[in-house]
Amino acid sequence: MLSSSTLTQVTVWYLDMRHPSELCPRLLDNPAIQVIQAEVPSPELSRFLYTSVGGDWYWCDRLVWTYDEWLAYLDRPAVQTWVACNAGTPAGYVELEAQDDGSVKLAYFGLMRQFIGRGIGGHLLTRGIQQAWAMNATRVWVHTCTLDSPHALKNYQARGFKIYKTQTFSFDLSQPPPGPWENAYGANKQP
């Protein structure tokens, strides 16, 4: 049976930070939490992080990328991937991409569901923003939307980002988000 289209209004917020002094850091004093750069371009790692973090939030754009497309994207000096680990286990990541205009975009940021609510997100975001500024950014920016984690916008604003543009569009929600892998939550179960 074909499912009917369910158009939902989605709001997208574009946020930026114009100077490093605008950062409101939130760091954990916990040696079990480490943020390390994945210095070797690895499509396997990046796709794992993308699906593990974004599967619950309709991150679908890169699911069709081939290995070579992933590698071509990652194997550029403009892209950095930073992974948050909790006691050695990947908990989330931030992907930074330097732009032609001198800005640095937080292309992707988030945590795997079992690590949400532990303060790791604020810590990782702080480290990611610090690294973006270390890339000689003229500004740091990000966008999020109502399909992302409900914590995302609050975390960005708490770290000092300001909204500079808002857009609304329709999105087809006839299918649930893909999850971190097929049938991750069992048949017909939502995350």
- C-alpha torsion sign, points 34, 39, 51, 146: positive
| Residue 145 CA from chain centroid, whole number | 11
Owning domain of residue 94: 23-140
Tokens coding 154: 């609050």
pLDDT beyond 70 at 67: yes
Q: How far apart are the first and last CA of the chain?
A: 23
pLDDT beyond 70 at 100: yes
Whole-number pLDDT of residue 107: 97
Whole-number pLDDT of residue 178: 80
Any domain includes 82:
yes
Instruction: Report the candidate in 88, 112, 109, 106 with the shortest Cα–Cα distance to residue 36.
Output: 88
Decide: pTM greater than 0.95.
Answer: no
Tokens coding 129: 């923003």
**Structural domains of the chain, count:** 1
Q: By mean pLDDT, which of 99-103, 104-108, 145-149, 171-175 is the weakest?
A: 171-175
Q: What is the CATH classification number for the domain harbouring 93? A: 3.40.630.30
Query: What average pLDDT does this structure show over 94-111?
Result: 98
Any domain includes 8:
no
